[in-house]
A and B are shown apart, each in its own frame.
Chain A
Amino acid sequence: MKITSSVSLLAIGAVLLAGTAQADKWSDQFPHIKNSGDIPGQCSYEAMSEKDYSGQKLTINTHAVPVMGEPTALHAEQFSALTGAEVKVIHTPAGDLYSKAMIPFQAGQTPYDIVFGFSNFLRDWKQYLQPIPAKYVNMKQMKDVTQGHIDVNSWGGEMIQFPIDGDRHYLKYRRDVIDNPEYKAKYKAETGNELRIPQTWKEYAEMAEFFNGWDWDNDGELEYGSAEVMKKDDLMYAAFFSRSVAYSKNPRVKGGFFFDLETMEPLINGPGFVAALTDWVEATKYVPPGGMNFGLGDEINSFGGGQTLFSYSWDDAFVAAMQDDSPIKNKVGAAPLPGSDRVWNRLSGAWEDTYNQAPYIVWGWTAAVAKESKNHDMAFDYLCFFANDANHQADIAIGRFGVNPFRKSDFLPEIYIKNQGWEPEIAQQYSETLLKMEEGSSNLVFPLRVPGVFQFNSAVATGTAKALAGQLSPQEALDEVAVEWKKIVKRIGADTIREAYAIGVALEDAE
Chain B
Amino acid sequence: MNFKHKYMFLLPGLLVLLAILIFPIGFTVRLSLSSWDSFYPGLDFIGLENYIRLFTDDSRFWEAFGRLSLLSLTTVFLQYIIGFSLALLVWKEIRFQRLFRVLFLIPMMTTPVIMTVVWRTFFNESLGPVNDFFNLFGMQPLWLSSEILSKFTVVLVEVWQWTPFMFLLLLAGLLSLPKEPYLAASIDGAGPVRTFVYVTFPLMAPISIGAIIIRLIEASKIMDTVYVLTSGGPGTSTETSSFYIFIKGLREFQFGYSAALSITYLVVMIISFTVIAKILVKMMVRGE
Residues in chain A within 8 A of chain B (CB atoms):
95-96, 98-99, 102, 106, 124, 231-234, 288-293, 302, 307, 451-452, 454-455, 458, 462, 465-472, 487, 491-492, 496
Contact = CB atoms under 8 A, between A and B. Distances in A.
Nearest to A292: B145
Contacts of B236: 232, 462, 465-466, 469, 471
B182 to A, nearest CB: 51
Identify which of A95, A102, A124, A289 gathers the most chain B CB atoms within 10 Å of its CB: A289
B253 interface: yes
B81 interface: no
Contact of A454 (B42, B125, B144, B251): B251
B125 A455 contact: no
Contact of A99 (B35, B142, B231, B253): B253
A233 B234 contact: no
B247 A233 contact: yes
A214 B77 CA distance: 43
B102 to A, nearest CB: 34
A95 B252 CA distance: 10
Identify which of A95, A232, A452 gathers the most chain B CB atoms within 10 Å of its CB: A232
A98 B233 contact: no
Given A289-B140, A293-B145, A102 B235 contact: no
Contacts of A302: 126
Contacts of B38: 102, 124, 451-452, 454
Given A452-B38, A469-B147, A293 B125 contact: yes
B9 interface: no
Contacts of B24: none
Nearest to A453: B38
A483 to B, nearest CB: 10
Nearest to A307: B126
Tell me whether chain A's interface is mostly helix, strand or loop, or mixed.
Answer: helix
A194 B152 CA distance: 44
Contact of A465 (B41, B144, B235, B252): B235
A441 B144 CA distance: 40
Contacts of B231: 231-234
Contacts of A458: 247, 251-252
A456 to B, nearest CB: 9
Contacts of B237: 469, 471
B240 to A, nearest CB: 14
Contacts of A465: 233-236
Nearest to B57: A487
B72 interface: no
B126 A233 contact: no
Nearest first, the 7 A-B pairs at minimum CB distance are A290-B125, A469-B235, A469-B234, A106-B41, A289-B125, A292-B145, A451-B39
B230 interface: yes
Interface in B101-127: 124-126
Given A232-B232, A289-B131, A293-B125, A102 B142 contact: no
A386 to B, nearest CB: 27
B250 interface: yes
A95 B142 CA distance: 25
B283 to A, nearest CB: 35
B272 to A, nearest CB: 26
A106 B124 CA distance: 39
A98 to B, nearest CB: 7
Contact of B253 (A98, A292, A470): A98
B254 interface: yes
Given A234-B231, A290-B142, A469-B147, A496 B253 contact: no
A102 B42 CA distance: 13
Contacts of B37: 452, 455, 491-492
A459 to B, nearest CB: 9
A292 B131 contact: no
A290 B39 contact: no
Contact of B252 (A289, A307, A454, A469): A454
Interface string B121-147: 000111000010000000010111101
A455 B140 CA distance: 36
Contacts of B251: 95, 99, 233, 454, 458
A289 B235 contact: no
Contacts of A487: 57
Contact of B230 (A106, A293, A466, A471): A293
Contacts of B230: 293
A233 B147 CA distance: 17
A468 B124 contact: no
Contacts of A307: 126
Nearest to A100: B250
A491 B53 CA distance: 11
Nearest to B127: A290
B38 to A, nearest CB: 5
A130 B68 CA distance: 44
